Structure 1
Amino acid sequence: MRWLRPIGQDKLAALSLFLISTTLFAGLFAPFLAPHAPDEVHMELRFAAPSWEYWLGNDQLGRCVLSRLLYGIRPSVLWVGVALALSAGIGTIVGFVAGYFRGATDAVLMRICDGMLSFPGYVLTLAVIGILGVGLENILIAFALMKWAWFARVIRTSVRQYADSDYVRFAKTLGFGDVRIMARHLVPAALPDMAVAASSTFGSMILQISGFSFLGLGIQAPHAEWGMMLNEARTVMFSKPELMLAPGIAIILVVSAVNYLSDSLQLALDPRLATSRRAPHSRTVAESAKLQGSEVA
């Protein structure tokens, strides 16, 4: 795991990883961390200001905003992670099979991927929702159907780079089976690319599920979800704009942390990117030194 070391050296990447880990922890243990039940209604506390009992105040039904924010992590982040793992798993298997065996197998699988990728993601998701109905489960099914082909493309390209390596050929010469070769030699080599692909997709999926819930196509009341919290606060956005701050800031922070962590992974995996970023600065220093030398002369 040498490719993880630069992330620990990057303070902002480490902070992003800490924020994501804290968010996942808070979502898993929301029943223990939330001060109140997320659907507990207190009309006498309608639009109440933040207090010691209700740290982020109360919404239009007197529900605890902090509790709903914590419970909203589950559909907005945790269940999105489950859909990501499912689609990445399917795409990884297809990508390994296509990249390793090649030939007719590769051609058939990639044509299927081309057919799936020819549909815009939002259109395919709306089609699944139109067939199966609104709800979190149907959006997650749409995500799994929509993303696996992209993962297969990425992993297939990575596997093809290592399938002709000398150690893979040597393993074939020794009589190792295909499954053993892929598990022992190709999976560790392609794992960094898999991590980058998954992390870069995670943020977009969080935004998408929040957007569909904001439109009323995702999780339904009285369950809590960040996009639906924004939709509920939309009716009072001018009189009580603070109700949109908590879910809005949560989405921004988590997605920004995921995106920055993905960029850090790319830099850790491809040193040429870091070199290209430092190159303009190096040229500037060299030119300055040359200019100073000519002035001295």
Structure 2
Amino acid sequence: MKFLKSISQDKIAAISFIVIVLTMIIGTFAPLFSPHDPNGVNMGLRYAPPSLEFLLGNDHLGRCILSRIIFGIRPSILWVLGALVISVLIGAVLGFLAGYFRGKVDAIIMRICDIMLSFPGYVMTLAIIGILGIGLGNILIAFIIVKWAWFARVIRTSVMQYSELEYVKFAKSVGISNLTIIRKHLIPVTFADIAVISSSSIGSMILQISGFSFLGLGIQAPNAEWGMMLNEARGVMFTSPELMLAPGLAIILVVSAFNFLADSLQIILNPKLSRTIKPKKNSPFSKIKNQEKEVAG
């Protein structure tokens, strides 16, 4: 409730949160919201303009664009969220091990992370797709393999910082088990950092999977995916630009919503980053402001 109250105080964050929740609900229950079969071919409606029956028109095979946009939420967002959760879990486990126990454990895990992070993300992902083959599932596996090292390094830094707090040192000195310390003392305080880096990463992952699908490396026809829909409409982008407009706007809207929400989460979970700092009544800054008002008056 406190989180929702904080979100509601920021209009942009509230709108972004509503957009994300509605998008995920529509994607989860896509068959209920889809007005037509997304793979239903009707050549008589080829490149048909928007109408009351087909609100966003039809593509080169006469398929309902709106229905394909709705079903495209699943691979473009929901499955990407699944890959993100797995990446964060792997990175969190290894990050906690490295940041808390340090020593040889930290050295081994960090050297592995250094190896993984020494390659550009896109290059590494393309190499894994080249080995495993094209397909959405292989792209998601590539995301997990590439992303976990970055999450592990960031979470390790956060854990090392909080491990130096006095109450954590006291818990160690009185003989409380390491698992209990991690579970009760470290996970709650590092959760904010994990939530922020996770929310800031989802937007780039959505763009990446759309880009790979646009190149033909992702989900294959006849399944719907936003990047693949852009690729299908590329040949008629000047004669029928509306075919690219719908999936393009969908990607921009969702990615922007995640980015705005991530920015708001940083402020909500870290009060030090508050946009505005109210000066105290008797502070030098408030006196200067009062003098300026008197001069202006």
Would the TM-score normalized by the shorter structure come out above 0.5? yes
Shift of 1:164: 2.2
Shift of 1:111: 1.4
For residues 142-221 of structure 1, what are the structure 2 equivalents within 5 Å? 142-221=142-221
Shift of 1:113: 0.7
Q: Is 2:268 the counterpart of 1:268?
A: yes
Residue 50 of structure 1 corresponds to 50
Shift of 1:56: 1.1
Native 8 Å contact 1:4 1:265 kept in 2? no
Where does structure 1 lack aligned partners over 5 or more consecutive residues? none
The Cα RMSD (Å) is 2.2
Shift of 1:276: 6.9
Aligned-partner Cα distance in 2 for 1:141–1:48: 38
Shift of 1:49: 1.6
Residue 75 of structure 1 corresponds to 75
Identity, in percent, stands at 61
Aligned-partner Cα distance in 1 for 2:149–2:97: 13
Native 8 Å contact 1:4 1:268 kept in 2? no
Aligned-partner Cα distance in 1 for 2:248–2:171: 52
Residue 36 of structure 1 corresponds to 36
Aligned amino acid, residue 164 of structure 1: E
Aligned-partner Cα distance in 2 for 1:178–1:170: 12
Aligned-partner Cα distance in 2 for 1:286–1:213: 59
Aligned-partner Cα distance in 2 for 1:144–1:254: 21
Shift of 1:228: 0.3
Shift of 1:218: 0.8
Residue 106 of structure 2 corresponds to 106
Aligned-partner Cα distance in 2 for 1:284–1:235: 60
C-alpha spacing 1:29/1:267, structure 2 compared with 1 (3 Å): same
Residue 63 of structure 1 corresponds to 63
Aligned-partner Cα distance in 2 for 1:173–1:202: 39
Residue 227 of structure 1 corresponds to 227
C-alpha spacing 1:124/1:277, structure 2 compared with 1 (3 Å): farther
* TM-score normalised by L of structure 1: 0.93
Residue 24 of structure 2 aligns to a residue whose secondary structure is helix
Native 8 Å contact 1:69 1:224 kept in 2? yes
Aligned-partner Cα distance in 1 for 2:249–2:277: 30
Aligned-partner Cα distance in 1 for 2:209–2:84: 12
C-alpha spacing 1:164/1:54, structure 2 compared with 1 (3 Å): same
Native 8 Å contact 1:139 1:209 kept in 2? yes
Where does structure 2 lack aligned partners over 5 or more consecutive residues? none
Shift of 1:278: 8.1
Residue 23 of structure 1 corresponds to 23
Shift of 1:160: 1.0
Shift of 1:61: 0.3
Worse-superposed segment, 47-56 or 242-251: 47-56
Shift of 1:138: 0.9
Aligned amino acid, residue 24 of structure 2: L
Shift of 1:206: 0.1
Aligned-partner Cα distance in 2 for 1:276–1:108: 43
Aligned-partner Cα distance in 2 for 1:19–1:210: 19
C-alpha spacing 1:275/1:58, structure 2 compared with 1 (3 Å): closer
Residue 253 of structure 2 corresponds to 253
Aligned-partner Cα distance in 2 for 1:124–1:193: 26
Residue 96 of structure 2 corresponds to 96
Native 8 Å contact 1:100 1:159 kept in 2? yes
C-alpha spacing 1:228/1:295, structure 2 compared with 1 (3 Å): closer
* TM-score normalised by L of structure 2: 0.93
Worse-superposed segment, 145-154 or 167-176: 167-176
